[in-house]
Structure 1
Amino acid sequence: MTDENRGAHSARKQAVRRKAQRRHSHFYDSRAHWSFSRNASSEPLSWSRERWILAGTAFLLVILSALVIPAWAGAMKSSSVAPAPGIAAKTTVATAVAASIDPLDHAIVPLALPKMDPATIKPIVPVEEWQTVQVHPGETLADIFLAQGLSMTDLQHVIDGSGGTKVFHQIKPGQEFQFLVGGDHTLKGVRFDQDEATIATLRLDGASPQLTTKTRDVQRREHISHGVIDSSLFGAASKAGMSNAMVLKLAEVFKFDIDFVQDLRVGDDFTVIYDDVYSDGSYLREGDIVAAEFVNQGKRYTAYRFKNADGKWSYFSEEGRPLTGSFLRIPVDFTRISSQFSAGRMHPILGTMRAHKGVDYAAPTGTPIHAAGDGVVKFRGWMNGYGNFVVIQHNATISTAYGHMSRFANLRVGQRVSQGNTIGFVGMTGLATGPHLHYEFRVNNVQRDPQTVTLPKPEPLPAAQLAKFKKEVVAPQLARLNQVDNNTKLARADTASRSDD
């Protein structure tokens, strides 16, 4: 029974194997060289053994090369090293043999180094760390010194040692100071700008203060801008590359000829030659207008900067006419007119009808009062009814008077003043109910209404100065302005022709 079961089981296994071979015949055909039989040939193992032998041989060659080559290189290097005294003879023989074998002759030659003279050796100067401080709005010099851990005594030493410079008496926002403070918090030095062209260094670490100055390289770089007004003056100037500050300077130059609030029109154009100031190659500030041309409603105005015989820079037209009014119509920044010029009014204090032979401009106490024109101080002092009073004689026939000042500026009788100079400050001295300036315009000592009087035109340059002005200023600058105008016209014509095409 058992034999029958074994036979049946063997038959089933054979049947399954044949069925699997038929189903996977492709797999068995592709792997027919494989053999898992114990009696299989050992030929594949002999190929594997050959490969192992070849790999071992290559590995041994690599190991031998790694050991032999460095040893040979070390032997070659040691042959060039000087021998010890005990084996000098052997080394000489070996060197001779090596020389006969090696065609290259190697030798070590000592070099003689130059001797250093201790007297010529300069000691290394330690680098000083200067701290730069910039003045902020509202800061005082005392605030700056205290912020650096310094005392008021240090400040006084700086002021005393600076030689009476005005730099420390009136500081401005943006101004810079440099401090050198030692490790023990003592002030060793201060560096500051005396002016645009000079930087000063005050050393306090010696027996006495030492003040030295250094001249800077100050340059003026010119620019030329041209613009056409299409909406506003500031917009046109911005397109031309000008700053707002330079636009304000342009308006200031032409303020007596052009009303920049009401007279400007679309299509007005301008050409400006101006400069910027650079110190040691760095931008310092905006400069001045050198020459300018402004066409307003078809009328051409020009301005040229020129230093007259008095050494004062002013602007003149091409004909040599000063671009300033001979007199300021209003010599103070006022808030309102508190009393007009009249032949009779009720006096606010005396209560009687009296002529008011001037114009009262109300302004806060302390507002600066300016000279209406160039002239000489004729009177400075107290005048009944007018309080602190100043009279300026401008020429043989015209004078101006200023009353109710709170105080005078640094002024004396006989002193020459220029238009715009501060001569005093608004107050309410004398018979006054509030702070204001009482201003009079006198012709042959007769008061005229300052608001309606015909002001004389400024006198042109004298003949000698006029010739110099036209030759040295107008001729070269006018050529540059005309060149810009011509280039602009050509560009406009080219643009128009392209648009027509």
Structure 2
Amino acid sequence: MVAMGKSGLGAQRRERLKALREAALHRPVLARHLSDGFNGRWSRRQWAQASLVATLGMLVAAIVPGFSPTQPAHAPTPHLSMALPLPSLPLAGVHGQAGDSWQVVRVERGQTLASLFKQFDLSPATLHEVLQQPGAREALTRLRPGSELAFDLPVGQDGKGGQLRGLRFDRDETHRVELSFDGDRIRQKVIERPTETRTVVISGKVGRSLFHSARKLGLSAGAINTLTDDIFKYDIDFNDDVAASDRFSVVVEQTWREGELIKTGPVLAATFTTGKKLHTGFRFVRNGKAEYFTGDGRPLKKSFIRMPIPYARLTSGFGARHHPVLGRMRMHKGVDYAARVGTPIMAAGDARVVSAGWMGGYGNAVVLDHGRGYTTLYGHMSRIGKIKRGQRIAQGTVIGYVGTTGMSTGPHLHYEFRVNGVHRNPLSITMPPAEPLSGPTLAQFRQQTAVALMRIQKVENIIYADAGAPPKPVATATDSRKDPRKG
């Protein structure tokens, strides 16, 4: 039985080994080797192939996150809490006293004092009381965008529905008014706010945009328009003649209050360098009127502008022509500019209005006297501007609007230019030069402009001293290179 038992065990072991061998033969990598006869030891070739399979398995596990072993979860970061005492409320806030809740408002375009009172749910009766205070109506009924007002309202009202306890506003540049409401009484306190006026030189390069560069330096939009439209309009084409490397310098007066720039005065002097050419302009008051002159006292503004209507098309020149209405040859004593009805018409030069009204075939027309024997006529207007006979007007003033009144076949401006009563062709005549400064006036002008020019030269010598490096735009005071806001 023992022999048979051992024989039975041996048969079972042989069956088990056979089953394991058959299973191993079905494995994709080792089947071929075992089928060749596995003797208990792998050959060198078998070891190399097994190593390759193991290496590929590790690469797949590293690249594909799903095959990587499960990473341990991060331990939660401990959060610490620390109790801090809150600052105590001021007594004004606890008891609801005046001055604890000032609501500061900067006026936007279109806003009025009435709309602000409505915004804070304040009664019209309170508004009426405020406007009755001395100087309040003049300051508060002409609010400009950017003006600042402050309302003192109770805590807990969220700025609405409470009793107005105080109001602050600026009466002018140097005085602030504070109104305090105590029952039926209103107390007024005027606080003086001193200002400082500084003459500064702002200098820089045109860069990609004259307007952008000048505004970045702090020059106001009005001062930039003065440069382009009043001072250098006749000598520089700002669309085609200006390069990024060209530079400008401007002398202006700035008014500062408590470290804030509140106003920039008119341009006192300016230089503009285009290429190697220097253009200059200086402000000077002649006969009570501010004008701009070159360094030698010649006015920068021309006596007349060639076209009294912008962007118009010339449809009929000066001379004999076949009249479109009368149907016969007739002398055309002016030139015609076609434009849409309502296009503004400007005065060609400084003048006195001789007449403004209906003139027969000219329809609605205006005649201007420019002095020294020069007169101009503007006809066929749809309507006349806000001018009247005998009025003095400046060059560029709108005197009327394009129309087709009188003997006209379509909307256009009929423009005549006369010298001592004789009609001349406005397109070809040599315009008279503007009257230069002379005598004591010229001496005064030179004395005044020498100081401004010296300031500009001093600043430019500092800024543009290194010709090899592109200068950086800076704004500097005349006596130092510090920002005016820093004193």
Read off the aligned partner of 2:453 and give its amino acid letter.
L
* Residue in 1 that maps onto 2:66: none
- Cα distance in structure 2, aligned partners of 1:467 and 1:181: 61
* Residue in 1 that maps onto 2:30: none
Q: Which structure 2 residues correspond to residues 289-368 of structure 1 after superposition, within 5 A?
A: 289-310=267-288, 312-332=289-309, 334-337=310-313, 339-345=315-321, 347=323, 353-354=329-330, 355=332, 357-365=334-342, 367-368=343-344
- Cα distance in structure 2, aligned partners of 1:369 and 1:215: 47
Q: 1:344 to 1:185 in 2, by over 3 A?
A: farther
Q: CA deviation at 1:185?
A: 9.2
Contact 2:336 2:412 (8 Å CA) reproduced: no
Read off the aligned partner of 2:459 and give its amino acid letter.
V
* Residue in 1 that maps onto 2:372: 396
* Residue in 1 that maps onto 2:390: 414
Contact 1:276 1:288 (8 Å CA) reproduced: no
Q: 1:449-487: per-residue Cα shift (whole Å, max 9, x none)?
A: 33333221111124222211211x212112112223433
* Residue in 2 that maps onto 1:487: 462
Q: 1:167 to 1:403 in 2, by over 3 A?
A: farther
Q: CA deviation at 1:394?
A: 0.9
- Cα distance in structure 2, aligned partners of 1:153 and 1:368: 46
| Structure 2 residue matching 1:490: 3-state secondary structure | coil
Contact 1:191 1:201 (8 Å CA) reproduced: yes
* Residue in 2 that maps onto 1:478: 453
Q: 1:489 to 1:401 in 2, by over 3 A?
A: same
Deviates more, 1:409-418 or 1:228-237: 228-237
| Structure 1 residue matching 2:358: 3-state secondary structure | strand
Contact 1:390 1:402 (8 Å CA) reproduced: yes
Q: Which structure 2 residues correspond to residues 20-35 of structure 1 after superposition, within 5 A?
A: none
Q: 1:7-30: per-residue Cα shift (whole Å, max 9, x none)?
A: xxxxxxxxxxxxxxxxxxxxxxxx
Read off the aligned partner of 1:136 and give its amino acid letter.
R
Which residue of the other structure, out of 442, 445, 450, is the alignment partner of 2:426? 450
Q: 1:223 to 1:380 in 2, by over 3 A?
A: same
The higher relative CO (CA closer than 8 Å, separation ≥ 6) is in: 2
Q: 1:4-52: per-residue Cα shift (whole Å, max 9, x none)?
A: xxxxxxxxxxxxxxxxxxxxxxxxxxxxxxxxxxxxxxxxxxxxxxxxx
| Structure 2 residue matching 1:413: 3-state secondary structure | coil
Which residue of the other structure, out of 440, 444, 467, is the alignment partner of 1:468? 444
Q: CA deviation at 1:398?
A: 0.4
Q: CA deviation at 1:492?
A: 2.6
* Residue in 2 that maps onto 1:32: none
Which residue of the other structure, out of 80, 104, 107, is the alignment partner of 1:134? 107
Contact 1:401 1:439 (8 Å CA) reproduced: yes
* Residue in 1 that maps onto 2:360: 384
Read off the aligned partner of 1:292 and give its amino acid letter.
A
Q: CA deviation at 1:255?
A: 1.0
Q: 1:117-170: per-residue Cα shift (whole Å, max 9, x none)?
A: xxxxxxxx9559677462426x68886776666779979x969998996985x8
Q: CA deviation at 1:173?
A: 4.7
Q: CA deviation at 1:393?
A: 0.7
- Cα distance in structure 2, aligned partners of 1:387 and 1:153: 55
Q: 1:387 to 1:288 in 2, by over 3 A?
A: same
* Residue in 2 that maps onto 1:38: none
- Cα distance in structure 2, aligned partners of 1:129 and 1:135: 19
- Cα distance in structure 2, aligned partners of 1:201 and 1:193: 9
* Residue in 2 that maps onto 1:223: 200
Q: 1:248 to 1:158 in 2, by over 3 A?
A: same
Q: Which structure 2 residues correspond to residues 186-201 of structure 1 after superposition, within 5 A?
A: none
Q: 1:428 to 1:244 in 2, by over 3 A?
A: same
| Structure 2 residue matching 1:458: 3-state secondary structure | coil
- Cα distance in structure 2, aligned partners of 1:276 and 1:492: 30
- Cα distance in structure 2, aligned partners of 1:234 and 1:131: 32
Larger Rg: 1
| Structure 1 residue matching 2:443: 3-state secondary structure | helix
Of Structure 1 and Structure 2, the greater helix share is in: 1
Q: 1:383 to 1:224 in 2, by over 3 A?
A: same
Q: 1:371 to 1:490 in 2, by over 3 A?
A: same
Q: 1:234-270: per-residue Cα shift (whole Å, max 9, x none)?
A: 5765786757765443223211121222223565433
TM-score, structure 2 as length reference: 0.58
- Cα distance in structure 2, aligned partners of 1:405 and 1:194: 44
| Structure 2 residue matching 1:393: 3-state secondary structure | strand
Read off the aligned partner of 1:329 and give its amino acid letter.
R
Q: Which structure 2 residues correspond to residues 210-289 of structure 1 after superposition, within 5 A?
A: 217-228=194-205, 233=210, 237=214, 246-252=223-229, 253-265=231-243, 267-279=245-257, 281-289=259-267
Aligned residues: 366
Contact 2:201 2:249 (8 Å CA) reproduced: yes
Q: 1:154 to 1:228 in 2, by over 3 A?
A: closer
Q: 1:446 to 1:135 in 2, by over 3 A?
A: farther
Contact 2:381 2:413 (8 Å CA) reproduced: yes
Q: Tell me, which stretches of 5 or more residues in structure 2 are unaligned?
A: 1-96, 155-159, 472-487
- Cα distance in structure 1, aligned partners of 2:161 and 2:244: 67
Contact 1:326 1:373 (8 Å CA) reproduced: yes
- Cα distance in structure 1, aligned partners of 2:172 and 2:346: 26
* Residue in 2 that maps onto 1:109: none
Q: Which structure 2 residues correspond to residues 116-127 of structure 1 after superposition, within 5 A?
A: 126-127=98-99
